[in-house]
Amino acid sequence: MLYSYKHSFSGFSAKLNSTQATALAKMEGVISVFRSKTLQLHTTRSWDFVGLTLDNNKVTPLQLAFGDDIVVGMFDTGIWPESESFWEEPRMKPIPSTWRGECVKGDRFDPKTNCNRKLIGARYYLKGFEEENGPLSMSGNPEYQSPRDFLGHGTHTASTAVGSIVKNASFFGLGLGTARGGAPRARLAVYKICWANEEFNSVCSEIDILAAFDDALHDGVHIISASFGPRPPMLPLFETSAGIGSFHAMQLGITVAFSAGNEGPDPSLVTNVAPWSISVAASSVDRMFRTQILVDNSLSIMGESFLPTEIKGKLTDPSMYFEHGVCNSDNYMNESKSAVGKVVVCFSTDGPTLIDQAVAAVKTANASGLIFVEPMTRQTADVEIVPTVYVNFEQGTQIKNYLFESPSLPRVRIIPTKTIIGKSPAPTVADFSSRGPSSLTPDILKPDVTAPGVSILAAWPHDTSPTLSPSDERRVRWNFQSGTSMSCPHVSGVAALIKSAHPRWSPSAIRSALITTAYTRDTTSDSILAGGSMKVADPFDIGAGHINPLKALDPGLVYEMKTSDYILFLCNIGYTQENIHKMVLPCPGVDTSCPKVPKSNTNINYPSITVSNLKSTMTIKRTVRNVGHKKNTIYFASIVKPDGVEVFIWPRALIFSWFNEENSYYVTLKPLKKSQGRYDFGEIVWLDGFHKVRSPLVVCVNTTDDSSDSIARTSSSI
């Protein structure tokens, strides 16, 4: 026995052989038995970009007005408690009396000095990691057997979500500004469930994750931020720690935000797709880190980098040091001379070559710098052990042609990076951000929303290098990171503000507010673009759109997910009435039986509407609740029809009053074209003159018979 989960749900983790596991699965009262897996971990400008500014002299800034009474639980790699991001905010109230958590003592972590009114909880979970990787003390890595963070990921995400206000934060002068989390006055509880292995990769055991959920739900957190997930293919929801833990959190009124994954830009690789949690995509902000490359003072190229100092050297083709000109350490020609004083130009298409491979290769050759050439749609600058500038293929081709035409190696000078704000259209979906449709629940749109996740500056452990490389001697207090791991805590921070402003709102109401107020236009009022391509982003890239915290605090209408919605969903994914009765908390008047005639998951009261298999006319029901300040109001419908689909809404007006705060409407979809497997997009918007309540409408028309297709697609199968 490793853990007994008893606080918030019933279960345990133990070492079993396959025969024992099979026998256990057949026992009465057992809902699921599954093998524990290892999961992956998937700022200064970003909060200004989303509208939460601190320079408003007329009113108390929104980030300071709410959050004091909210506890955000971070499931990650731990915390660096000495960071200024986790100091107490001025005039912070005592710890909420409802808090039942604790700070656990461990290696270089003393609760008496490291915890305060800001950092009010810190636990760590090691049994699953050690069962799969051996004792931490024997692994030879510098990890701390405590809540203290070595990898930096947890410190970064925690400061993004709820970090205190810190002025003059920067990475060697880059990104200089006032750092803070989305809810800087909110309380922080840390649950360390991910650890560094010998290669400094993160390892997150599902055994430990479930233990963290069990404790967090008992401790009294209000929001959980979880920037981790499995790689596809997806397993059934109740055979994953994330699916089980977030379901029980939802039942207790706790909102859970997950990262959508970093498997983009290919479709159907989005993870964390349960309808009771929030799945967050990643996109850019309007900040660039422009770095000028001067070749012989005659060719000037502007790239992206995090380069605080000037680099000088000779421009060099990789074929001088690597076989076939492929920038890979395995291709390094050992008999060649060192590349000291050289700046190597590497193309991502040669090999092909990933950025990590190119960096490792030029470091092996002792080069002074790297110019990495990749498509403009995939460019995301990162902090590297070797000074690296990212350029696109047009620029890279100019550099390569100049190099080939030069009689000798040209001199190259790379000017220190400059931070440029407000000159680039944003947001743009990050190329790495995982896309829908969901391979597990195709009638539930995932991701739900997108948020800043590219080049996010946030707190970092003071004893950890910014690249995690043992040879990197730099030490920083702030570091740049990119990923849906960074976008997830942005949503968690906003969710904390919403929960503080509306304490009685359920997780589904908070999710609805985020979804229906999201926007789909960039800073130039044009459509948001999808990184990894040249196309306009669609709901599979960004969900409903980019989060808008100010609007989400006053969404007008919300789509509540009631227990009956989750029961319908569980019925559709194959759970029996007996199992559902065990999973769903008792609620007066709630029928846990499955309908005799199966209903589609499209009828679940989700804020977005997705129909993955429209063969003939169908009608969908949605119910909204008025949460606006005006109780007597009328909302009128506006429709953007998906191509080839007729859309009817009844009624076209929703009348609310003090005595009628809920209304239902019906959407009838009629296919007008012959099509197979093609998704089209529209939207349904309810307007009252002040609020704009927008729901994405995603429809796949399947009206062309294909007898050769042996796989029957149904909206209820997973």
Which residues have a catalytic role annotated?
Answer: 76, 153, 485
Amino acid found at 432? F
Cβ atoms 278, 226 nearer than 8 A:
no
CA-to-CA distance for 354 and 399, rounded, in angstroms? 20
For 148-174, give one letter per residue: b (16+ CB within 10 A) or e: bbbbbbbbbbbbbbbbbbbeebbbbeb
Q: Can you give the length of the chain in residues?
A: 718
Residues in contact with 263: Cβ distance below 8 Å, sequence separation at least 6, in sequence order: 231, 232, 269, 270, 271, 432, 434
DSSP category for residue 366? T
Cβ atoms 216, 73 nearer than 8 A:
yes
Token code pair at residue 335: 């008999």
Q: Is 510 exposed, middle or buried (0-12, 13-18, 19+ CB in 10 A)?
A: buried
CA-to-CA distance for 672 and 619, rounded, in angstroms? 15
Strand ranges, E, within 366-463 = 369-373, 388-391, 411-414, 418-421, 428-429, 449-452, 456-459
Cβ atoms 103, 79 nearer than 8 A:
no
Q: CA torsion angle for 24, 26, 28, 29 (degrees, to 10)?
A: 60
CA-to-CA distance for 714 and 699, rounded, in angstroms? 14
Token code pair at residue 718: 């997973």
Token code pair at residue 483: 């990923």
Measured from the Cβ of residue 206, the count of other Cβ atoms closer than 10 Å reads 24
Cβ atoms 223, 73 nearer than 8 A:
yes
**Continuous segment of H or E residues that includes residue 137:** none
Cβ atoms 72, 186 nearer than 8 A:
yes
CA-to-CA distance for 630 and 690, rounded, in angstroms? 10
Cβ atoms 521, 427 nearer than 8 A:
no
Q: Is 198 exposed, middle or buried (0-12, 13-18, 19+ CB in 10 A)?
A: exposed
- From residue 310, alpha-carbon distances to 313, 369, 489, 682 in Å are 10, 11, 34, 49
